Amino acid sequence: MSSPILLPFLLPLPLSPLPPLHSPIILPRSIEDLLMLSMFLLLVLILVIAILCGKRSAKSDEKELSKNLDIQASIFHYGIDGDDKQECAICLCEIEEGEKCRKMKTCGHVFHKDCIDRWFTVELHCPLCRTLVCVVVDRSENVMASSSSFPTLLN
Domain ranges of the chain: 31-79+89-136
pLDDT category at 39 given cuts 50, 70, 90 is very high
Q: How many CB atoms lie within 10 A of CB 95?
A: 18
Q: Which among 5-9, 60-64, 65-69, 118-122 has the top mean pLDDT? A: 118-122
Q: Residues 89-117: pLDDT tens digits?
A: 888 888 888 888 888 877 888 888 888 88
Identify the CA nearest to 88 among candidates 117, 59, 67.
117
User: What's the pTM value of the predicted model, to 2 decimals?
Assistant: 0.42
Q: Residues 62-85: pLDDT tens digits?
A: 555 555 555 555 566 666 554 467
99 residue type, one letter: E
- With respect to CATH, is domain 31-79+89-136 assigned 3.30.40.10? yes
**C-alpha–C-alpha distance, residues 124 and 118, integer Å:** 11
